[in-house]
Structure 1
Amino acid sequence: MRYGTPSLTGALTGSFDHWYVVDVFYDGVRVLRDVDVTNVTVDDDATALVQGSASLTIVYQGAFAETVAPTAIGDYLSPFGTKIILYALVNVGPGFAERVTLGHYEIAETPHINSTQFVFNTAILSKGDLIDLTLKDAFDAVQADRFDVPGSPPNLSSVWTEIQRLTGLPVTRTITDAPISSSVAYQEDKLHAIYDLAGSLDAVAYMTPDGTVSMRPNVWPSPVDVLKGGDEGTLVGVTRGMSNSSVYNRVVVRSYAGTTESVLASGEITDGPLRAQNVDGSLSPFRRRPMFFSSQYVNTPEAAMSFVNNWLPRVSKLRSVEVVLSEIFNPLRELGDVLDVRRMVQGVVVDNFYARVTRMRRTQDTLQDTTVVVQP
């Protein structure tokens, strides 16, 4: 969860307004500051390779009737290296306002550019610009920067050091470091290599709001917030759903090396509604749904069995129940946050569960959609 001052956390439980502004950077220099934006949609998705994205419209009216509408590579708002910092501003009357950094992004696309011009004393001036932008976090550029040829880490002493080398970005170390377990051969996709390295620490790599690379643990941390409904809460609605698309009852770890695949270890659910087969050996109602895994970091039967024991409980339970929480706009919420959710009716808790944030969508509306998976 992002840091917020006590005044901000208190304001978010009451009546407040919010809007968005951006700073624009090119080649490390801030070229535009506190630019108004509209039509804002901010999406965070822990299941995506590029987890952070946004779309918005720049609203610009220059003090000297200048335009910032891009027309060529290298212009400030062109999708060729320009970076955007997106802020949410929370305001309570005339006495309180606070800025929260939602993310560092790169411009991926400028799909629509509308600049209104006029002529004054033979000079062509601008009445204002409306520029639509599609934004992606820095992992989008990392993914595009593929390896020229297969290679290996030059140093096996530190996973964090190797991730920093591959991304070229600063890191925020939130997970205990460890040596890279074996000499690996990177293929083509650099972003896949980064996720594999993080996976060797039982974690997931991601871009923080301040533009650094970090990791969040696969193991659930303690709850960081209590989200409750009722007159004094900020939870407005709870919509439950279930899907079997990411639920497995069997984990199979395959050997990575060589052209002939072999199984290093496997395991399956043996009882309950998600069991793979019945006691007599016949298929269960859910049938067998295996998840296959192979990695250069899991290359012995012992390591493979450890992976099976760690992941089988996770893939068979944690992702089976998904809940969409409709809550009052909260810019402090982050992917991976564990919440203590309490649905209230007339002051009585009628539903209480722990859940972890997997997706979020924020707009200019009062409410945001926060998708979570429920702890069994």
Structure 2
Amino acid sequence: MRQHTDDLLDALAGSFTRRVLVNVFHGTDRVATDLAFESWSLESDLDSAVGTSGSGVVVYPSVSGESLSPEGTKGVLSPFRARVELVMEVSAGGFRERVSLGLFRVVTVPEARDYTADVDGVSRVVSSRVKIGFASLAEDVRRRGFRFPEQPPQTDSCYRELRRITGMPVLESVPDAAISGNPTWEAKQGGRLDAVQKLADQMSATAVVNSAGAWVLVPDEQGEPVASLHLGERGTVLDVGNEIDTDTVYNVVVGQFEDDDRNPIYAIAEVEAGDLRPDSLYLETTRYYSSPFVKTQEAAESAVQAILALSTGAQVYDVPIQCHINPLIEVGDVVSLEGWVRPLVGRVVKVTLGDSALMNVTLSVRRAL
């Protein structure tokens, strides 16, 4: 969750107003503060390579006839230099608190317009409206490729290698692991970002840049909820849906691997008891699995058993929720849904915010089988 006070939690449970402002940075220098932001949207997806993207219109009343419209590499909002911080201000009565929605890279300025007026017989800019498109700071890593294929200089810590190849802060949110499989990071488009996710895979996690501008590892295993959404008279959830899909429930896993000399390694795991046995009414559903990090028969047996346990231990399905806007929720958070026909706990995998008083959230929920 984004940083907040207890008073803000109380305000979000009742009636409140909000507005979004923009701070602009060039490097570490803040060059503009509290700019009005209109027609904005912010979309986060845990499965997206970059994670978060959005757009909006910056509205600037000129003080001395200056324009905020960029010209090529020049200007406050030029996509060649600007980073923007989106800040939501929540007000309820005499209470007011600001929440940083994140720092983002400006990637495009599809439209910019200056409005002029005659002042003492001279035409002067009185305001600017600049539409911007922006993306998570993971975009910096995606654009910065490796100049040559390279291997990790040290293999005892995935976290150390993540910091080396991203040049960004990395929060240690899951246990560290050694780098296995002697990987070579490819010199290709998006190769550095691919390397980040491969390192995250070795820690059984997904890497994402959080609202503080740091990489954080979201574990595959669902933890305890950090927030809740409520149905009922004072609830915030307006619409709930769910789906049941057996396509991802496998009762046989076939592993195909190679050792360091490229000799084949095979391993098979299957459900041996219960309603999901291959000879049950469900019949056999086979999953094939391979990994460049599995190099021994022992590791292969362990890998297929782990994949089988994930598949048969629970079914993952998505619950789309529409609720009153809550600026504290981020992708990767585990939240509970209370007051519905049955309690639900799931990980937030998608969030869409915007000018509307509502937001859309998708929870990935595990149903025990």
Q: What SS is found at the alignment partner of 1:307? A: helix
Residue in structure 2 matched with residue 305 of structure 1 by the alignment: 301
2:359 aligned to which of 351, 358, 368: 368
Cα distance change of structure 1 residues 270 and 68 upon mapping to structure 2, 3 Å threshold: farther
Is 1:290 matched up with 2:304?
no
Residue in structure 2 matched with residue 39 of structure 1 by the alignment: 39
Q: Residue by residue, what CA displacement relative to the aligned partner does 1:36-94 show, whole Å, maximum 9, x if unpaired? A: 1011111110111111111111111122221111111143212223111111111112x
Return the offset for 1:102: 1.1
Residue in structure 1 matched with residue 345 of structure 2 by the alignment: 354
Residue in structure 1 matched with residue 3 of structure 2 by the alignment: 3
TM-score (norm 1): 0.87
Q: What SS is found at the alignment partner of 2:267? A: strand
Gaps of 5+ in 2: none
Is 1:232 matched up with 2:234?
yes
Is 1:106 matched up with 2:105?
yes
Residue in structure 1 matched with residue 29 of structure 2 by the alignment: 29
Residue in structure 2 matched with residue 154 of structure 1 by the alignment: 153
Q: Is the 8 A contact 2:222 2:346 kept in 1?
A: no
Q: Residue by residue, what CA displacement relative to the aligned partner does 1:323-357 show, whole Å, maximum 9, x if unpaired? A: 1111211111121222221235xxxxx32222221
- Paired with 1:86 and 1:170, the residues of 2 have a C-alpha distance of 20
Q: Residue by residue, what CA displacement relative to the aligned partner does 1:179-228 show, whole Å, maximum 9, x if unpaired? A: 32353211231111111111111121110111011212111111112322
Where do 1:249-328 residues align within 5 Å?
A: 251-255=253-257, 262-268=264-270, 277-278=278-279, 284=283, 288=285, 290-295=287-292, 297-315=293-311, 320-328=316-324
Cα distance change of structure 1 residues 289 and 131 upon mapping to structure 2, 3 Å threshold: farther
Cα distance change of structure 1 residues 54 and 252 upon mapping to structure 2, 3 Å threshold: farther
Residue in structure 1 matched with residue 116 of structure 2 by the alignment: 117
- Paired with 2:139 and 2:311, the residues of 1 have a C-alpha distance of 27
Give percent identity, aligned residues only: 28
Gaps of 5+ in 1: 345-349
Cα distance change of structure 1 residues 157 and 320 upon mapping to structure 2, 3 Å threshold: closer
Cα distance change of structure 1 residues 274 and 51 upon mapping to structure 2, 3 Å threshold: farther
Q: Is the 8 A contact 1:318 1:374 kept in 2?
A: no
Residue in structure 2 matched with residue 347 of structure 1 by the alignment: none
- Paired with 1:14 and 1:329, the residues of 2 have a C-alpha distance of 12
Cα distance change of structure 1 residues 149 and 319 upon mapping to structure 2, 3 Å threshold: farther
**Residue type of the alignment partner of 1:103:** G
Cα distance change of structure 1 residues 292 and 261 upon mapping to structure 2, 3 Å threshold: farther
Cα distance change of structure 1 residues 63 and 290 upon mapping to structure 2, 3 Å threshold: same
Q: Is the 8 A contact 1:254 1:261 kept in 2?
A: no
- Paired with 1:230 and 1:197, the residues of 2 have a C-alpha distance of 42
**Residue type of the alignment partner of 2:221:** V
Residue in structure 1 matched with residue 126 of structure 2 by the alignment: 127
Q: Mean alpha-carbon deviation: is it higher for 309-318 or for 44-53?
A: 309-318
Residue in structure 2 matched with residue 181 of structure 1 by the alignment: 180
TM-score (norm 2): 0.89
Q: Residue by residue, what CA displacement relative to the aligned partner does 1:207-257 show, whole Å, maximum 9, x if unpaired? A: 011101121211111111232211122222212234567665554544367
Q: What SS is found at the alignment partner of 1:152? A: coil
